[in-house]
Amino acid sequence: MLSWREVSGRSALDIPFPEHSNAFSHNPMKATSPLCLIVFLLIPLVGCSGNMITDIDTSQIPEEEVNTATFRTGSWEPLNGKETMGTVSLRTLDDGMLQVAFSEDFSVSDGPGLFVYLSNGETPSTDFINLGDFINPTGAQFYRVPDNISLDSYTHVLVHCAPYEVTFAFAALR
């Protein structure tokens, strides 16, 4: 940052200040007092002190949004020799509907006839819910959950190959 002397070629003390300034003058330097200039120059020094943010009470900030009434999450785990990565969440939307959301870094091995299921185990349970056709083997994607399902009804999200009855990946919701 350039100093006042480098920019103007003189120090702040070299500037002539008239004893009687007219606040309505067209020359802004006539309305400026040395005290105003000194305060203006000190503001950045005072404002950059390290004690400004330490007064925040961090005890009220939650560390992680898990196991709440509106949100459950899990990490994808591979099954049957497939590869997977990323996370998934089951969350309540503003309109009260439930949604399954795959993370942006999600990926899984591709295959035929893949579907997304809610289940109570690592493979489809007898009461699993089919959320629909699998959209894409990579990236963020979203699936609406039927109205009659609650947040705690199922413990797992699956990517399942229906024609061959093979689960490619599962995520246990916590």
pLDDT of residue 45: 46
CB 73 within 8 A of CB 174: yes
The arithmetic mean of pLDDT across residues 121-128, rounded, is: 94
Q: Does one domain contain both 48 and 79?
A: no
pLDDT of residue 38: 61
**Residue 133 — pLDDT band, cuts 50, 70, 90?**
very high
The arithmetic mean of pLDDT across residues 112-118, rounded, is: 97
In a domain, 13, yes or no: yes
In a domain, 24, yes or no: yes
In a domain, 108, yes or no: yes
> For the segment 27-58, what is each residue's pLDDT rounded down to a tens digit?
544 545 565 556 555 544 444 434 333 344 44
Domain with residue 91: its CATH number is 2.60.40.200
Q: Does one domain contain both 22 and 75?
A: no
> For the segment 4-23, what is each residue's pLDDT rounded down to a tens digit?
445 455 555 555 545 544 44
Q: What percent of the chain is helix, strand and coil (3-state, nearest 5)? A: 15, 30, 55
Q: Does one domain contain both 94 and 29?
A: no
Question: Residue 24: which domain range?
Answer: 4-55
Q: Does one domain contain both 51 and 82?
A: no
- Asked if residue 138 has pLDDT above 80, the reply is yes
159 closest CA partner among 120, 127, 105, 123? 123
In a domain, 61, yes or no: no
Most confident region among 38-42, 55-59, 110-114, 125-129 by mean pLDDT: 110-114
Alpha carbon 65 to its chain's center: 11
The arithmetic mean of pLDDT across residues 89-94, rounded, is: 92
Distances (CA, A) of 136 to 104, 116, 117, 152: 11, 11, 15, 26
Q: Does one domain contain both 84 and 144?
A: yes
What does pTM read for this prediction?
0.60
> For the segment 53-62, what is each residue's pLDDT rounded down to a tens digit?
334 444 444 4
Structural domains in the chain (count): 2
Q: Does one domain contain both 50 and 75?
A: no
Q: Does one domain contain both 86 and 162?
A: yes
Q: Does one domain contain both 99 and 27?
A: no
